[in-house]
Amino acid sequence: MAIQNQDVRRIAVAYPDLQGNEMKYVTDCIATEWVSSQGPYVKRFEDAFAEWTGVEHAITCSNGTAALHLALVAQGIGPGDEVIVPSMTYVASANAVSYVGATVVLVDSDPTSLNVTPQAVAAAVTARTKAVIPVDLYGMPVDIPALRDALPQGAIVVEDAAEAIGARVRGTHVGGHSDIATFSFFGNKTL
């Protein structure tokens, strides 16, 4: 049976909420020519986000993929290194590993939480494992302290917390237990 166009309704993943000062701030950015990666609004956002999440620094990037890529570069991950990535994630996690020339090691995700587990990570660790990118999928945060126990000494945790802004693990905001955490404000995210 063919579906007619009039029978199809669009269901958006998220709707923008522009009830506050958004238009005023965007207009001010354009009027003062601060429409790129710097300026007073970016600095205010970075400072407020760092304070809210309880971390020392927050740095903005153009998108979540760029943030993951930058995080791996900052930690010296590159050719010859392996990075463990969950199989249930957006392709950005694996792409960032590929961008730095490291090897992606996919591990299955838990069917209940949809997250990587310490057991799956431990089973995938080799002498070349330098990092893991746990993904807080659909607002379900990964228990990073438990995950750390599965990693070899010196391996880093680059948490993709894009979908769990506001969630906490053991009383700490997501990202607070990781070496580096990335967030995203794309339209389908919680904030």
Element (H or E) spanning 84, and its range?
A: strand 82-86
- Let me know if 189 is a catalytic residue: yes
As a dihedral over the C-alpha atoms of residue 7, residue 13, residue 18, residue 19, rounded to 10 degrees, the angle is: 80
Distance CA 158, CA 179 (A): 6
42: phi > 0 → left, psi -120 to 50 → alpha, else beta; which? alpha
Residues 188 and 166 sit within 8 Å (Cβ to Cβ): no
Instruction: Indicate which residue of 24, 43, 130, 189 is catalytic.
Output: 189
Pairing label, strands 82-86, 103-107: parallel
DSSP string, 110-163: PTTT-S--HHHHHHH--TTEEEE--B-GGG----HHHHHTTSPTT-EEEEE-TT
Active-site residues, by number, are: 189
